[in-house]
């Protein structure tokens, strides 16, 4: 098995059903990854260690998923020079909006690229990580180009099916 190039961190195991969308993207593109539960608040030492040692282990991108206060992505970004992508989890009193705000309101100097709340954000985090990795991997660039063509073809097929039902 290839060494992981992406690290997925989740603040809770309850985030797994959402973050499986990210894992599906990596499986489709053949990107090796690892996934851990690590909380910014409940396991700060573990979180800091995973983030600070990631680059030395060959990780190139970190994805951090968390809900409510959602400090995980910011704490991770403070511990590494690697790109960090945040995925706000739905739930809590504000259904993920609080997590989104926590991720996008990072202080200057600690950037976190933030995706949409929930499964769409988890999928896009995976695709964004693949785009970052494709900067140095022509094979991934080719796979991304084919992926976009496939999406366009699927839309065209759906439109043709719609048009056929509307004319009949």
Q: Which residue ranges are tagged as binding site for substrate?
A: 12, 15, 42
Residue 135: both structure tokens together? 């900067």
CA angle 99, 101, 107 (to 5 degrees): 115
Residue 13: both structure tokens together? 């195991």
Residue 79: both structure tokens together? 């511990």
C-alpha 126/C-alpha 6 separation (Å) is 9
Please give the C-alpha separations between residue 110 and each of 1, 76, 85, 113, in angstroms, as whole numbers. Answer: 33, 10, 12, 10
Q: Which residue ranges are tagged as binding site?
A: 12, 15, 42
C-alpha 17/C-alpha 112 separation (Å) is 22
């Amino acid at each position: 098995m290839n060494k992981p190039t992406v690290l997925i961190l989740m603040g809770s195991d309850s985030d797994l059903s959402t973050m499986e969308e990210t894992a599906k993207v990596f499986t489709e593109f053949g990107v090796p990854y690892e996934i851990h539960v690590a909380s910014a608040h409940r396991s700060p030492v573990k979180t800091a260690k995973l983030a600070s040692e990631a680059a030395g282990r060959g990780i190139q991108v970190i994805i951090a998923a968390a809900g409510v206060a959602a400090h995980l992505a910011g704490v991770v970004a403070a511990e590494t020079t690697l790109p960090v992508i945040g995925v706000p989890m739905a739930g809590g009193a504000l259904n993920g909006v609080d997590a989104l705000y926590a991720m996008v309101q990072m202080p200057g100097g600690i950037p976190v690229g933030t995706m949409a709340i929930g499964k769409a954000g988890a999928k896009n985090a995976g695709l964004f990580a693949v785009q970052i990795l494709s900067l140095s991997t022509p094979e991934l660039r080719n796979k991304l180009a084919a992926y976009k063509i496939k999406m366009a073809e699927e839309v065209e097929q759906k439109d043709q099916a719609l048009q056929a039902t509307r004319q009949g």
